[in-house]
Structure formats: C-alpha cells, structure tokens
Structure 1
C-alpha cells in the first residue's frame, strides 16, 4: 500500500494520496479577487493557489464539502470538476452541478478502489446554521491503512463526537479551521484553532493537518494560530505549500 501523503495547495485545497487514490479537497484555484456578493456577503480571496490544476497530475476524484460558497469551490475549481472522473459532495451539489458529481447524505458510503468513503455530518456555523445550506465531511477507510477524517467546513464539536461514536479512533484528521466570520451571520462558521485541538482529541487522532486557515479575508485566525494551538501536542504536521509531505508510511 502506498504511503499516505498530502500536498497543500492553499485555503481548503489539498491533494491527498490515500489507499492508492488521489483525492482533491474543496478545489479553489482562482487568482486573488473579490467575488460578486452571495446572500449579502462578498468573499475576498487574498492569495492564489500554490499549484495550478495543470500541475496536479492525475486526480481520481474531488471531495467537495459544499458548493455554494466560493471559498470552498471557486470558479476555476468548479471548472476543474468537469474534467474529473468523479466528485463526491452533497446531494444538493449533485443536483445543481450535475456531470460526474455524486451526492451523499450523511453516513452514506461509496467504494472507490480499496477505499470506503463515508459522508459525515457537518454544520457550517453554530447551532441553528442549517439554513446556510448542506455541508458534509468525509471519513476515508481501507483495511490496509490508517483512517482519515476530512472535516469540510464543520464548526460543530457535537458532530465530531458523533463521528467518533460511529467510527472510534480516527488516525489522521484534516481539519478546516480559520474561525471564519461574516457580518451577515452569527458566530464562527468553521472551527477555531482551540476547537480544532478539541476535535483532534475527541477523535484521538495521532496526525493533524490544518486547512482553510489562510487565503480568504473572512478568516479571523491564521495558519500560525493553528500551529500554536497544537504546540507541544506532537500531532500537528507542517505542510508547506506545494510540497508533498508524507503523513504516514504504510
């Protein structure tokens, strides 16, 4: 079984090599810009990606936590999906985007090669934020490698607890953080760095990677905040942009 590796591209976007499958998380490839307002708020992208789509090599599928916010699926990211053999996202994304997008409800699974991909619940904000639209995370499992959690834009620790109750220990967690805030919504829309530490503890994860901690103006905490929160924990893995990092040898 190949090693588990991750190449960080920027924002929520990374190329994850797991179980012989190459996964792309929440594709965002646009140049810095301010987008047209959606639901009363205009997202501003502050930095572009470390790699262009043409530099990724073969991608087997994308994991898209949700499609209705540009900081998780921007213009070039959405265009890229049309060239991929498979995208797994919410049922609403499958309905809206069509093509090769397969929608999953929470706790539903699909098999890709030797990897079982299970959609897991996510809440994009504090309790009562369901109206912001459907969001999911993902748990990846195979008999030959440690398990992986890709949180997507989840801010709910109770949902993390439900994942731990269902699966037990999750060895590797890719946690979307940054404590996102916007003027038209109450509370943090993604994990704070402190809550990311709690989430990793709930899942008993030995390895933690921070995503969604930079490149967008509405994030109130930084990549450095995430790093400091895990200082001394021994589980945080630094992932420089555009560098392939081995998360676990298998």
Structure 2
C-alpha cells in the first residue's frame, strides 16, 4: 500500500463515456479512443456482437478542436467506432499501433514500444509522447495478440508539465511496472478498467484491468491521481463506478481516485467531468 500524499494540481480531464476522454497538455488537446456512435449492437469478427448501452456525453461537434488522438487500437468498435473513424480525418495526428497506422493511413502514425515522438507546443517547447506496452487479455502478449491484436499505451512528458500515463486496453500489471520504472511517479494516470469479459474468449478471462488491479496499478505508478475510463456504456464491461470506489478504498487510495461525472450527469467542477476545458 502506498503512503497517502497530497495530489498534484489536477489537470482537467473530460470523460465522455467508454474509453473516450479529452484533456489539455502543454497547450495541445488530446482525445483518447474516439467512440461517438449511438447505443446498439456492433459486430466483431469471430464472436458475439458488442452491445453499447449508453450514448457518449458529447459527439464530434461537441468535442471542439483536437490536436492529437491517442488511439490504443483500431480493431474493436468499443475503442474506435464508425463516427470515431470519420472524426480522425479532421485531426492533424493520430498516434496508434504500427499495424493500426498502416490500416488507417492518412495522418496516423504508429508507435512501437518505448518509441517517442516530439510535438511542438503552441507557445514553444515540446510535448513528448512515448508509446508503451499493453497486453489486451490474460497471459502473455504472444498469446493474446493473435486473437485481439496489438495495443499501445502512452506516456506524455515535457519540461514543467505533469507526467500523464494513458494505459489503453491493458490487462497486465507487468507493463505498468515497466512504465513506473521509466517514468514514475506519474501525476495523472488515465486507466482503462471495467473488467471486460467476453464469453468463450480466453475462458472468460479479463481483457482489461479490473477494479482491484486498477488500484494496484495506481500504487505501482505512485500515481497522484487516477482517472478511470472504459468502465461504462458497454455490456461486456462487468465492473463500474461502485466497484472502482470500493477497490480504491480497500487499497487506501480513495484520495487518488478522480471519477468525476460525465457531463450532463451531475458535473463536479474541477474533476474529470468538468465541461469547461
């Protein structure tokens, strides 16, 4: 268990539902895994359809300017849907997996593990985005990638800026430990959680972190604040807000957890759901 300490000055993160969140960093606006489609069934190859149960808190028009999309992977509709794909055409840069960049083309750029890209800040200086490992399922990458494809996470750094970790669809604590060794402590961790499971796939094993592992990841990272995403709006996400609250309380990390609220569902100014980015 990590000793409690005061959180760093919060960097506003607007949570839109599912894996989609919007934040400013160094004067640039970043959006994670854009999913804007309406609720309904979305087919996936070789398995049952994924069911979206709630709309996004904002559509493409309501997001405003986006400089960079951080796309953990392009192959599943709960991470990149039809509207999200159209949205990419208007974004100057999409950072994703090497394979995803080849499939998407255009302004998409793939990042291998630990590969950095430096982005110019509007007022001078740079933001460095580094691709980091992720394992989308139980076991080793060699076991899960042939089934679910490759996934990338991201770490954002810059002079005088907070360190931000975006996990992507990752179910393993091993990449989290590697990120902590290279970049910890982390100021803000945007952790994909929700304990998604699909019957018949890897024996119903975890495809992304559950709540207990998300809390453990926060401790490993020394995260001053955790903004969880990817825990609502889809039926295969088996753990939500209440489970996250309980897990972080059990780990003694309640002061690190910033759930916020999705805009329009009871905003709390200054937290993840604040609409005034």
TM-score of Structure 1 vs Structure 2, range by shorter chain: over 0.9
Give yes or no for the alignment of 1:239 onto 2:270: no
Task: Return the match for 1:224 from 242, 250, 265.
Answer: 242
Instruction: Decide whether the 8 Å contact of 2:197 with 2:238 is kept in 1.
Output: yes
SS class of match (2:214): helix
Q: TM-score, normalised by structure 1?
A: 0.94
Q: TM-score, normalised by structure 2?
A: 0.85
Counterpart of 1:86?
93
Instruction: Decide whether the 8 Å contact of 1:6 with 1:245 is kept in 2.
Output: no
Instruction: Decide whether the 8 Å contact of 1:173 with 1:200 is kept in 2.
Output: yes
Task: Return the match for 1:166 from 182, 200, 205.
Answer: 182
How far does residue 168 in structure 1 lie from its aligned partner after superposition? 2.6
How far does residue 3 in structure 1 lie from its aligned partner after superposition? 7.1
Instruction: Decide whether the 8 Å contact of 1:125 with 1:155 is kept in 2.
Output: yes
Counterpart of 1:141?
157
SS class of match (2:132): strand
Give yes or no for the alignment of 1:123 onto 2:135: yes
Give yes or no for the alignment of 1:112 onto 2:119: yes
Q: 1:93 to 1:203 in 2, by over 3 A?
A: same
User: Following superposition of structure 1 onto structure 2, how do residues 1-250 of structure 1 map, counting pairs within 5 Å?
Assistant: 4-113=11-120, 114-127=126-139, 128-131=143-146, 132-186=148-202, 187-231=205-249, 232-233=252-253, 234-242=255-263, 245=270
Give, in whole Å, the separation in 2 of the partners of 1:201 and 1:34: 36
Give, in whole Å, the separation in 2 of the partners of 1:116 and 1:101: 17
Give, in whole Å, the separation in 1 of the partners of 2:48 and 2:62: 32
SS class of match (2:256): coil
CA RMSD of aligned residues (A): 1.5
Structure 1 spans left out of the alignment, 5+ residues? none
Structure 1 window deviating more from structure 2 (125-134 vs 112-121): it is 125-134
Q: Which runs of 4+ in 1 moved over 3 A?
A: 243-247
How far does residue 246 in structure 1 lie from its aligned partner after superposition? 5.2
Structure 1 window deviating more from structure 2 (9-18 vs 235-244): it is 235-244
Largest Rg, 1 or 2: 2
Aligned length: 246
Instruction: Decide whether the 8 Å contact of 2:197 with 2:206 is kept in 1.
Output: yes
String of CA shifts for 1:198-227, please: whole Å, max 9, x gaps: 101110001011100000011111122112
Give, in whole Å, the separation in 1 of the partners of 2:245 and 2:38: 26
Structure 2 spans left out of the alignment, 5+ residues? 1-8, 121-125, 273-277
SS class of match (1:163): helix
